[in-house]
A and B are shown apart, each in its own frame.
Chain A
Amino acid sequence: DTAVSQTPKYLVTQMGNDKSIKCEQNLGHDTMYWYKQDSKKFLKIMFSYNNKELIINETVPNRFSPKSPDKAHLNLHINSLELGDSAVYFCASSQLDRRDTEAFFGQGTRLTVV
């Protein structure tokens, strides 16, 4: 059983389009994250939700809007896509009050904006 699953795995789209990436976890964790990995492999946290509440919102353009319908799902919607949005986006989950436990990651969504 996949612990953290993201869809789609690949996404190619034109500039200016709006797209969404979905994430689901079946680990019973209360916290979910979105990370962006650029072409140099650097991982940067974008958002974090705890029990559907936004707890981390790093400096991210407001074209990016996360939505958490329940604690097992965290979706990422991106408006007016730009070339610089091309990256791999990872969803992750963990238990907030268990800092000694690791975060589990999805397989990533490779977004290419052309």
Chain B
Amino acid sequence: AQSVTQLDSQVPVFEEAPVELRCNYSSSVSVYLFWYVQYPNQGLQLLLKYLSGSTLVKGINGFEAEFNKSQTSFHLRKPSVHISDTAEYFCAVRGNKLSFGAGTTVTVRA
């Protein structure tokens, strides 16, 4: 069995401020970890993924995530957000199947 928990349902943030979105997972098998972004009225697109190796993963649009095996976490960060980062963010794990967290709504304000 596997599950994904996104700890923040909504994150309001001012433009140019940093943001962190938290994700914890559990799985009885080895997993691969992903962050997807969903812009308004669009489908999901991949931000970044962790497969193995370095625990710090860099993705598109200035996002990065850190894998922490002992804490079973995969938190997403961006040091300075833009208005265009307003979107829904999903953490996902792929073990036997691809499972998503409940999503975090990020709203960037000027």
Interface, chain A (partner B; CB < 8 A): 4, 33, 40-43, 45, 48, 56, 90, 92, 94, 99-100, 102-103, 105-108
Contacts and interface: CB of A to CB of B under 8 A. Distances in A.
B31 to A, nearest CB: 8
Contacts of B46: 102
Contacts of B90: 43
B97 A45 contact: yes
Nearest to A33: B98
Contact of B45 (A42, A56, A105): A105
B42 A41 contact: no
B100 interface: yes
A106 B44 CA distance: 8
Contacts of B5: none
Given A41-B103, A43-B103, A99 B94 contact: yes
Given A48-B97, A90-B44, 15 more contacts: A4-B43, A40-B102, A41-B88, A41-B102, A43-B90, A45-B97, A56-B97, A90-B43, A92-B44, A92-B98, A99-B32, A103-B94, A105-B43, A105-B45, A108-B42
Nearest to B31: A99
Q: Looking at A33, A92, A105, which has the most chain B CB atoms within 10 Å of its CB?
A: A105
A91 B88 CA distance: 18
Q: Looking at B34, B42, B90, B97, which has the most chain A CB atoms within 10 Å of its CB?
A: B97
Contacts of A108: 42-43
5 tightest A-B CB contacts, nearest first: A105-B43, A105-B44, A43-B100, A107-B43, A41-B103
A108 B36 CA distance: 15
Contacts of A90: 43-44
A92 B92 CA distance: 14
B3 to A, nearest CB: 13
A99 B50 CA distance: 11
A45 to B, nearest CB: 7
A48 B98 CA distance: 10
B51 interface: yes
